[in-house]
Amino acid sequence: MNANNWPSQPEARFGAAGVGAAFGTFLVGLAEVLPDEHSTAKKILVYAAPTVGILFGVLWLWSRRLLNERRLDRLTDKTIDDLTKTLRDPNLSETEREGLENELKEIRANKYKFRKAQIAYFAKSEILRKRSDS
Residue 3 falls within a domain, yes or no?
A: no
Of the listed ranges 2-11, 68-77, 85-94, the one predicted with least confidence: 2-11
CA angle, residues 34, 50, 31, in degrees to nearest 5: 5
Count of the separate structural domains present in the chain? 1
Residue 102 falls within a domain, yes or no?
A: yes
| Res 11: pLDDT | 61
What tens digit of pLDDT does each residue of 11-34 get?
A: 666 677 788 888 888 888 888 888
Residue 4 falls within a domain, yes or no?
A: no
Residue 5 falls within a domain, yes or no?
A: no
For residue 1, pLDDT beyond 60 = no
| Res 20: pLDDT | 81
Range of the domain at 114: 10-133
Residue 1 falls within a domain, yes or no?
A: no
Which phi and psi (to 5°) does residue 116 adopt? Answer: -60, -40
Tell me which DSSP letter residue 34 carries.
S
